[in-house]
Structure 1
Amino acid sequence: MEKTSITSYEDFIVNYSLYKEERLQGRYLNFDHIEKAIHEVGSAFKFYEVGKSHMGEPIHRITVGNGKIKIFAWSQMHGNESTTTKAVFDILKSFRIFANEEYIESLLKELQICFVPMLNPDGARAYTRVNSRGVDLNRDAHNREEEESKVLRKVYNEFKPHYCFNLHDQRTIFSAGPKPLPATISFLTPAMNEERSVTPSRKASMKVIVAMNERLQEKIPGMVGRYSDAFNINCTGDTFQSLDVPTILFEAGHYYNDYEREKVREFLVQALITALEVIAAKKINTKSEEDYFNIPQNEKLFFDVILRRALLKDQIVDIAIQYNEELVDNKIEFIPCIEKIEANLKFYGHKEIDCEEKEVKLSDGGEVSENVIVHNLLLKNEVLIIKYANN
C-alpha cells in the first residue's frame, strides 16, 4: 500500500481504492466468499462466532474501537442483498490499514462498533431473500422463531448498543421521489409505535440521516430517497426503535448501469463513515430533524428497460422490461422479462430505446406479450439485444 495520510473525511473517500476489499465483487456473496476477509479482519479486531444458521453455517460478530458510544450494524439479513456486506468489509479494511491515521483514530477512540456482516448465510448461499426455512428474517423480530433472529437478538442484548444500523439492498424499481432519478441510496428511521411518534430516539437517527444526505448530495444529487415509516413490530428496525435505540435503515439501490452495485457500494461507504463521524464527534445536534422530511419519499417509478414507440399489432405502445435475478453457475444472471405493455407508459426506464414506430418481434417468432422472457428482440428485422451483460 502506498503511503498516505488520512486526517479528514475528504482524505478518506479519495483513497477508497486503497481499502476497497477487492476480493468481494458482484452481487453473489456467500460465506465462502467472505471467509478469508472475515478471518483477516478478525486477526486485527475482536472476532468470534456467535451462532449458526438453520443449515449450520457460521454467523460471526466483529467488534472494533474502544469508545463509549456503541453502534450495532448487521448486513445480509436478506441473503440476496450483498452490497452492504461489501461496504462493511471496505470499512473494516480501512480500520485495519489506517488504524494509526488521525481520522480513523478519532472515530475508534469514541466508538465501539459491532458488525454482523452476514446474518443469513443460508439465504446468501441460495441467493434468496428468505432463510433456508423460507422465512423473511426482517419479519421475525418480534416472535424470533428462527435461529438467525435469535442470534441477532442475542448480540443486541449482549452489546447493548446506543445506535443500530440495519443494512439492506433495494430493487431497481425505486425512484427518489417523482423525478426520473433512481433511489441510489435510501434511508429510514423506523417508527416505534402505530402513531409514528417523533421521539428522542427517532430524532437522533433523523439527524444522522440528514448528515449523510448532505454529504451524498455532493456526489449523487437528487438520488437519495426515504422510505415510508409505517409501523410493523415484526420488522427488526421497528422493534429496536421501540426499545428506544436510534435505528437507521440503509438501502443500497441503483446507479446508472451499475447492476453489480460496485459504485453504489462506494456511496454506501461514504454514508456509513459520515454516520460514524457525526456520532463520534457528537455533531448530531448541529442538524435538524425537520430536514429529514425534505428527503423525497421513494416511489416505484422505474423499469430496467423501456422500449418507447414500438409498433405492435398495428398499435404504437411502450414495452417495459424488468430484470429478474437468478443464480446460475454461481453467478447472478439478469433475465429480462416483459412486465407491462401500454401506450404512453408513465414510468421511467434505466435504459430507454426509441423504436421510432418500427415493428417489434420476438427473434424466435413468438408473441410479444407480458410475462415473456426476451433476451433479444427484432426491431424491423434488426436484432435488438435486451439482456444485460454482467461480465
Structure 2
Amino acid sequence: MKFYSDYKEKSISGRYITNTHLEAILDQLNSNFEIEILGRSVQERPIYSVKFGTGATKIFMWSQMHGNESTTTKALFDFLNFLASKEPLAQRLAKTCTFFIIPIVNPDGALAYTRENANQVDLNRDSITLTQPESKILRKVFEKIKPHYCFNLHDQRTIFGVGDSGMPATVSFLAPSFNEACEYNECRLRAVEVILAMNNELQKYIPSQIGRFDDAFNLNCIGDYFQYSGVPTILFEAGHYQNDYEREETRKYIFIAYITALESIISSEKTKVDLNKYLNIPQNKVVFYDFIYKNVRIKDDSLDIITKFASHYKETLLDEKVHFEAEIVEIGELERSFAHQVYDLKGELYQDELGNYPKLKKNTNFSVNINNIFVNGVLKK
C-alpha cells in the first residue's frame, strides 16, 4: 500500500506506547474528532476515547487492554490520520460509520509494560466478573453505544507460527465463539466475512503469514462475551514479521487490515459466506523460538556431545524503552521446530564465562571459536 507512509503517525514507534504518547497526538487531532475521558484506571490514569464520523454503522475498537501489546495502538493512530484525510474511502467511512475508539484500555499496564493492570488482573479474563475499573468502563461503553461491530486489538508473541509451515504468524484473526460448542450463527458469520476480506488482501503483502487464532470458548474473555451478546466481534493479533521486533512492519499490515475490514463492512456487495475458506486459514501454533543453535559441541565433566539449544528474547523495560535480552530456554531435544534465526555451529565447542555448557535462563553470550562471538543471541559481524 503505497500511501501508508502518508498516514503513518511518525511521533510514535517501537513497543513502548503510553498515555503520554497518546495525549500528545490527541491534542493535535482536528475538530472532527471528539475526545472524552471515559473514566480512570486503578492508579487514576485517564482512559481516553476518540469518536469520529456521523454514520449509522457503529464500530467499537479498543487496544492495549494488555498494556504491553501496543502494535495495534500505533496502527490506530495511523488510521486516525487516514480518517482525517480527503481520501474518498475516508470520506465514505465518515458518512457511513461512527467510530468509538479506546486507544489504551489499560494505561497502568502500558506504563509498566505489563500484560495485566495495576492489580495484576488480566482484563481479558474479567468480562463477566468485572472486578476492575477498566473492565467496567469497557462494558459501559459497549452497552451505551450498542455497536454493530467490535474490533478487539492485541499483540501475540513471536512463538506463534502459521500451522507447521515454518512461517511466522505476522497477523492472526478470529471470529470468537459464542457458545461452548463453537458453533457458527449469523453474528459469528458476519465476523468471518470481514476476516475473509482481510485475509484476501493481506495475502498480497505477506503470503502464508496469516493465521487463525484458537476459538476455545471463555465467556470471561471480552471477544467471546461481545459475540455471545450478539455483536460481530473480530480479534486482531499483531505478530512477528521477519527481523521486525519493534513491530513497525506488522503495524503497516494491521493498518491495511483496518482499512480492508471497514471497506468490507460498508460494501453493498454482500455474498454468501464461505465458512470453509475461513477454516482453511491455518491455525496459530506454538512452533517458534527466537534463536536455535544447532550442531554445537558442549561438554562438562561427564558429557561431550554435539547437540542444539534455543533462546528467546525476554522483554525488559529500561529508561522508557523496551530492551530485548536473549535468554537460553532449552538444551538438547527441542519441543519446537522453528526459529526466527538459526545458526549452524558445525560441531564447534561452546564457550562462555562459566565453561563449555550453556545454562538455562542465562543470557545468550558465548563464542564457538575465536572468530564466532555471539552477543545477546546474535553473531557479531
Which TM-score applies when normalising by structure 1?
0.92
Paired residue for 1:61? 49
Paired residue for 2:358? 368
Question: Alpha-carbon deviations, 1:139-181, whole Å to 9, x = none?
Answer: 0001111000011011111111011000000000000111110
The AA in structure 1 aligned to 2:369 is K
Paired residue for 2:78? 90
3-state SS of the aligned residue for 1:362? coil
Paired residue for 1:136? 122
The structure 1 residue matched to 2:173, chosen from 170, 187, 190, is 187
> How much does 1:366 deviate?
7.4
Q: Tell me if the contact between 1:303 and 1:349 (Cα under 8 Å) persists in the aligned partners.
A: yes
Q: Flag the 1:43–1:379 CA change in 2: closer, same or farther, 3 A.
A: farther
> How much does 1:129 deviate?
0.1
The structure 1 residue matched to 2:21, chosen from 33, 37, 55, is 33
Question: Alpha-carbon deviations, 1:228-263, whole Å to 9, x = none?
Answer: 111001100000000010000000000000000000
The AA in structure 1 aligned to 2:26 is I
The AA in structure 1 aligned to 2:126 is D
Q: Flag the 1:311–1:235 CA change in 2: closer, same or farther, 3 A.
A: same
> How much does 1:387 deviate?
4.3
The AA in structure 1 aligned to 2:53 is G
User: What residue ranges of structure 1 are gaps of 5+ in the alignment?
Assistant: 1-12
Confirm whether residue 238 of structure 1 aligns to residue 224 of structure 2.
Answer: yes
User: What residue ranges of structure 2 are gaps of 5+ in the alignment?
Assistant: none
Paired residue for 1:49? 37
Paired residue for 1:296? 282
Q: Flag the 1:178–1:284 CA change in 2: closer, same or farther, 3 A.
A: farther
3-state SS of the aligned residue for 2:215? coil
Confirm whether residue 323 of structure 1 aligns to residue 309 of structure 2.
Answer: no
What is the rounded CA distance, in whole Å, between the counterparts of 1:106 and 1:268 in structure 2? 20
> How much does 1:343 deviate?
4.3
Confirm whether residue 76 of structure 1 aligns to residue 64 of structure 2.
Answer: yes
The AA in structure 1 aligned to 2:138 is L
Which TM-score applies when normalising by structure 2?
0.95
Paired residue for 1:208? 194
The AA in structure 2 aligned to 1:380 is N
Question: Alpha-carbon deviations, 1:310-331, whole Å to 9, x = none?
Answer: 1112211111100010101111
Q: Tell me if the contact between 1:318 and 1:345 (Cα under 8 Å) persists in the aligned partners.
A: no
Q: Tell me if the contact between 1:73 and 1:115 (Cα under 8 Å) persists in the aligned partners.
A: yes
> How much does 1:67 deviate?
1.1
Q: Flag the 1:308–1:49 CA change in 2: closer, same or farther, 3 A.
A: same
> How much does 1:41 deviate?
2.3
Q: Tell me if the contact between 2:286 and 2:336 (Cα under 8 Å) persists in the aligned partners.
A: no
> How much does 1:345 deviate?
6.4
The AA in structure 1 aligned to 2:79 is I
What is the rounded CA distance, in whole Å, between the counterparts of 1:368 and 1:44 in structure 2? 58
* Percent of residue pairs bearing the same amino acid type: 43
Q: Flag the 1:323–1:245 CA change in 2: closer, same or farther, 3 A.
A: same
Q: Flag the 1:388–1:247 CA change in 2: closer, same or farther, 3 A.
A: farther
Paired residue for 1:349? 339
Question: Alpha-carbon deviations, 1:281-317, whole Å to 9, x = none?
Answer: 1444365232110100001000001111111122111
Paired residue for 2:98? 112
What is the rounded CA distance, in whole Å, between the counterparts of 2:88 and 2:318 in structure 1? 45
